[in-house]
C-alpha cells in the first residue's frame, strides 16, 4: 500500500521521498507573507528608532489647565516651600539626624490637612 501512495513522488527529476514535490505551495505562502509584512516592519522599525533618538513629537496643542491642576500645583509648591523653610531653620548638626523624622511628620500633617481631619502627633 505504501508503494502505491508514494508511486507518484518517486518518479521524475524532482527527487525521492514523500512530499518532495510539494514544497512550492508552502514556499509561496511564506514568500507572499514576507512581501506583505516587510513594508509594515520597515515603517514600524523606522518610527521606533526615530522616537528613540529624537523623542516623541509634541502636537503643539495647548491643553486647557483646569482649576484642580492649578490648585494641585499650588499645593505642591507650598508644601515644598514649607519643607525648605523648616530645613533652613534647623542647625547643621540636627539637620542630618532629624530632617527625615520632621519630613515624615510634615507629610502626615499635610495629608491630614488636605483630608480635613485633625492631626494628632
pTM flag (> 0.75): no
DSSP secondary-structure letter at 90?
S
Q: Residues 77, 110: contact at Cβ < 8 Å?
A: no
Q: Tell me the pLDDT tens digit for each residue of 4-41.
A: 666 665 565 555 555 555 667 778 888 999 999 999 99
Confidence of residue 50 (pLDDT cuts 50, 70, 90): very high
Q: Residues 10, 19: contact at Cβ < 8 Å?
A: no
Inform me whether the pLDDT recorded for 53 exceeds 70.
yes
Confidence of residue 78 (pLDDT cuts 50, 70, 90): confident
Q: Which residue has better confidence, 51 or 58?
A: 51
Amino acid at each position: 500500500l505504501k508503494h502505491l501512495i508514494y508511486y507518484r513522488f518517486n518518479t521524475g527529476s524532482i527527487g525521492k521521498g514523500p512530499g518532495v514535490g510539494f514544497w512550492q505551495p508552502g514556499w509561496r505562502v511564506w514568500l507572499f507573507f514576507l512581501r506583505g509584512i516587510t513594508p509594515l516592519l520597515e515603517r514600524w522599525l523606522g518610527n521606533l528608532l526615530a522616537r528613540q533618538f529624537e523623542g516623541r513629537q509634541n502636537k503643539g496643542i495647548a491643553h486647557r489647565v483646569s482649576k484642580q491642576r492649578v490648585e494641585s500645583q499650588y499645593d505642591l509648591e507650598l508644601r515644598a516651600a514649607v519643607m525648605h523653610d523648616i530645613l533652613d531653620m534647623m542647625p547643621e548638626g540636627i539637620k542630618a539626624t532629624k530632617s527625615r523624622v520632621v519630613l515624615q511628620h510634615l507629610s502626615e500633617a499635610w495629608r491630614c490637612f488636605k483630608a480635613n481631619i485633625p492631626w494628632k502627633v
